[in-house]
Amino acid sequence: MSNTPLYGGQAVLEGVMMRGRNGFAVAVRRQSGAVEVWAEPLRSRWVATVRRIPLLRGIAVLWETLQLGTRALLYSSRVAVADVAGADAPVSEGTPAAVWFALALSLVFAIGLFFLSPVLVTSWLDRWLHNGTLVVFVEGLVRLVLLLGYLALIGRLPDIRRVFQYHGAEHRAINCYEAGQPLEVEHVQRFSLAHPRCGTAFLLVVVVVSILVFTALGPQPLWWRLTSRVVLVPLVAALAYEVIRFEAAHARRTVVRWAMAPNLALQRLTTREPDDEQAAVAIQALRVTLQQDGTREPPAPARSADAKHDADPRRDRPTVLSALALLAALPML
């Protein structure tokens, strides 16, 4: 399936979002057991043009990913609220103002936690080390520790663990499709939880690239170090995207597989083993996305394994804390 377009996705609260060339689809499992699907064509056509331009395509893709991810997360949150209220009617998307507010909150939190706080934590080292390069390296290590600690911490929340299960289901569905296997639960569940184009892998590359970029700036006063960490976020993201794109395109080479090993290992923090019900949700989101693109899915066997799925009465409903935690984790899913 070498000529098959690349599909990507993201886990949301009790569901999965899948993105294709022409549209995206969000499938969310309701408390009743039914799966509600919201699908729309992609509005940002300019991204398709910018995708051909190195570096710029990384910024465009990241922006579109954050925007779509925020919309999908808010939609799944509205479904959860409707379930708590006992409303069975279909749920509509939130207002544009809510989307922009949530997106701004996500960016402020993520930049503050992962880019600015390491600078403040390591600023006192200047008077002791007198080596700007070493200080930046320690800053990068602090950034990595914060990333790992944040993922480990939110992964302890019960409903976030369920989101991570849906993340695993999303990866398996895409891996199954890219392998040319039928999009049926029993086939999807055989595939790996890891995927080379995962957002978790992207953020690990961001940490490494940020060390190289910020070291190249040389010694700086504290105010400029803080400013540069914000201003250069697009450049760091663009370079990291090119690295991930190169790795995905050359994943069969031994050296590249070695380089990808830490990325794939880190995904263990953001994926969990999905059950068949969750795999079925990921499959449904991917199928709708394929239909939007007019892409044929691999032929299915005569018997469908995911025709009916019962509701899980033990399932915890997502909390506000979980939704806020996921806002900062959007690029990782």
Kind and range of the H or E run holding 76: helix 56-85
**What ranges do the domains of the chain cover?**
8-332
> What's the Cα-to-Cα distance from 62 to each of 51, 181, 186, 189, rounded to whole Å?
11, 29, 33, 29
pTM: 0.84
CA neighbor of 328 nearest in space, from 26, 174, 43, 117 = 117
Per residue, the 3-state secondary structure of 277-310, as one string, reads HHHHHHHHHHHHHHHHHCCCCCCCCCCCCCCCCC
pLDDT in tens, 201-255: 788 888 889 989 998 887 788 889 899 999 999 999 899 988 888 887 887 888 8
Structure tokens at 100: 């922009």
Give the tens place of pLDDT for each residue, 154-201: 888 888 899 999 999 999 999 999 999 999 999 999 999 988 888 887
